[in-house]
Amino acid sequence: MADDNTDEDDPQTFLGCGLPEYDRNVLLSCIRGDPNFTNCLGPECGGGQIHEDSDDQPIMTCGACGFKTCFTHKMPWHTGLTCNQYNTRERERLQQEEASLQLMEKATKQCPQCQVDLASMNSAGSVLLIMS
């Protein structure tokens, strides 16, 4: 039974949080459906905002904590790189990773007992262990 001193319609009674936090959470739940809404990725923020400039001006600075988020990539801002430069760098990294995987497939054999990748590296028969 509710205490006579509590208001059953008061969210603080049931949520255990203060009204400002409750109001903030209600507001965030309402605006999260907007396609220009972006969560702040600040380590201790948990907020977010509508970023009207969308991909035209992709750097979003959180009004609450100042953390910079890339609207386009939904990640912390890639300092020193435009989105196009970041895309190029990421594409090159993925291509290098794929080339490395293909080289490992050609140059290694799996140990039949433990399934670890092994590669023979010299004429003396020394074996290099490659963790995959």
pLDDT digits (tens, 9 = 90+) for 33-91: 888 888 899 998 888 888 888 788 999 999 999 999 999 999 999 999 999 999 999 99
β-partners of residue 70 are: 59, 75
Query: What gap in Å lies between CA 75 and CA 37, rounded to an integer?
Result: 13
Q: For position 23, what pLDDT does the model report?
A: 77
Q: What is the mean pLDDT of residues 12-38?
A: 73
82-114: pLDDT as tens digits: 999 999 999 999 999 999 888 888 878 888 888
Closest CA to 77 of 41, 36, 44, 48: 41
Q: H or E element: which one contains 36? A: none
Residue 120 has pLDDT above 60, yes or no: yes
Domain positions in the chain are: 11-76, 83-130
- Check whether 3 has a pLDDT greater than 60: no
Instruction: Copy the structure tokens of residue 71.
Output: 């609207």
Measured distance CA(112)–CA(100) in Å, rounded: 22
Q: Is 30's pLDDT higher than 90?
A: no
Indicate whether this model's pTM tops 0.75.
no
Going by C-alpha positions, the residue among 97, 62, 94, 92 that lies closest to residue 76 is 62
Compute the distance between CA of residue 130 and CA of residue 115 in angstroms, rounded to an integer.
Answer: 11
Residue 21 — very low, low, confident or very high, per pLDDT cuts 50/70/90? confident
Distance CA 52, CA 46 (A): 19
